[in-house]
Amino acid sequence: MLVLLLPLALAAGPASSPLRADDFDSGPSYPYKLPLGLKSAPEVPEDNPITDAKVELGKRLYFDKRLSRDATVSCATCHDPQKGWTDRSPVSTGIKGQHGTRSAPTVLNAAYMDLQFWDGRAASLEEQAKGPIENPVEMGFTHAEASARIASIKGYAPYFKAAFGDDKVDIDRIVKAIASFERTVLTGNSPYDRWVAGDKKALTAAQKRGLALFQGKADCEFCHSGFNFSDSGFHNLGVGMNAKSPDLGRFAVTKKDSDRGAFKTPTLRNLADTAPYMHDGSEKTLADVVELYDRGGDKNPWLDARLHPLHLSRSEKKDLIAFLGALNGDKLEIKPPTLPQ
């Protein structure tokens, strides 16, 4: 099932895209309905209330490659709605064909994460949106240069005015709009959600057995907890730690020895659309991921203490993968909007 996100028509300014707001639950700070299975609305910062006009502006900025120095990379380049809001690559490619060092995480339900980026260095979606713009490998601009380019595009003026009351363009307004749009990128309504809601035919027998393993023998819920199947925490699974110069993940932010090689727990929703897996894209399939956990992760001095060999049988592994398939819900494959000129 495809759910079209985004809000109702703007009260004033440019025409909005023909998308439905009635797929979200109303709330005092989050004014849209939620897909089935999401138990609470994303938090909305007090200094960036979400509005239809701001989301409309943010959608266009999200798809606009002119936010990069050579106009070849947009947010959607690495977080493509047609590819599960990732780029389905082990690592992402920025301007001039430069390669990063980490796999692009999905934007789906990123609004529920406590911290952003694999290492948690951004405290909000707004802060996260600033990072790639000035990263020399990704978009290669300064914030001032990016703001000046967007301000030079006359067609953006009515969008900024509708969203913020006047047509001034600066980096804070740009990222507030992008973050507002990203807070509408939500997925739910999976077979698992329908099963929880009372449809006892929504899960197959194999998926039910997989759920029992997920909650029991495999102990997946320790990290993949809650309705978004993530604790928003950071864990060392040993991935990439045998490299000559391993990516130390969260340690680069906190400088705590216990955070060496620890990376943020991703959501398990819509895994069918977001391969390859792990922060470095080193696991090509869900079967590979299950094998990693079955062997208790890859040994290193900072391996998470909860990891241990699971000794799953071949049929148990198949059942666990079947359950993960039951978490595939709304794809949100929206089309790029017409950009202001």
56 is catalytic: no
- Burial label, 220 (beta-carbon count in 10 A; 0-12, 13-18, 19+): buried
- Residue 311: closest CA among 214, 219, 218, 223: 218
Task: Name the DSSP class of 21.
Answer: S
Tell me if 247 sits within 8 A of 267, measured CB to CB: no
Tell me if 258 sits within 8 A of 250, measured CB to CB: no
- Residue 185: closest CA among 247, 113, 132, 254: 113
Whole-angstrom distance, CA of residue 68 vs CA of residue 136: 10
Task: Name the DSSP class of 83.
Answer: G
Tell me if 156 sits within 8 A of 169, measured CB to CB: yes
Whole-angstrom distance, CA of residue 50 vs CA of residue 32: 10
Distances (CA, A) of 92 to 47, 79, 80, 252, 310: 31, 10, 12, 20, 32
Whole-angstrom distance, CA of residue 108 vs CA of residue 266: 10
Kind and range of the H or E element at 263?
strand 263-264
Q: Which of 56, 126, 138, 283 is catalytic?
A: 138
Half-sphere exposure of 181 (CA within 13 A, CB side): 28
Q: Collapsing DSSP states into helix, strand and coil, what is residue 145?
A: helix
Which residues are known catalytic residues? 138
